[in-house]
Amino acid sequence: MAIDLRHHLGRVGERLARDHLERLDYRVVACNYRTRFGELDLIVCDDTWLVFVEVKTRRSGAMESSLQAVTPDKQRRVRAMAAAWLVEAPDRPRSRELRFDVVAITVDRDGQLVRLDHLEGAF
């Protein structure tokens, strides 16, 4: 799959994940925040939680599931990115709890949502 198509697919998934989280009354703090370790897909919060969200998007019929793509190495990188963000964002929300979620998105060939799995506290 070409890089532009993968990039577009990722953005479609992030939009669907953001819409889902906003329906759950989370406020979006940041999207696609770049650190020296990589990019945080979404950072959201509510009155209790500050949540770093890894979004994985696949097309129907993909060989690897979205959840399989969140390997232990990826989890370590997301934690490092979150630590960097916490240091770099002095105006961040002050939530009592911190969590790492995964939102796994499956879309059809037209980019329409087929399945959304939201794993709270995934790692």
Residues 6 or more apart from 110 whose CB is under 8 A from it? none
- Cα dihedral value 38, 103, 32, 6, nearest 10: 80
Interatomic CA distance for residues 99 and 115, integer angstroms: 23
Task: Check if the beta carbon of residue 55 is closer than 8 Å to that of residue 105.
Answer: yes
Interatomic CA distance for residues 48 and 87, integer angstroms: 20
Which token pair is 64? 């690897």
Indicate the number of domains in the chain: 1
Residue 1 has pLDDT above 60, yes or no: no
Tell me which H or E stretch contains 22: helix 3-23
Task: Check if the beta carbon of residue 40 is closer than 8 Å to that of residue 30.
Answer: yes
> Where residue 109 sits, what CATH number does that domain have?
3.40.1350.10
Domain that holds residue 29: 3-119
Q: Per residue in 10-68, pLDDT tens? A: 999 999 999 999 999 999 999 999 999 999 999 999 999 999 999 999 998 876 777 78
Q: Which residue has the tokens 């500050």?
A: 50
Ramachandran assignment for 2, one of left (phi > 0), alpha (psi -120 to 50 degrees), beta (any other)? beta
Q: What was the pLDDT predicted at 15?
A: 97
What predicted TM-score, i.e. pTM, was given to this entire model? 0.91
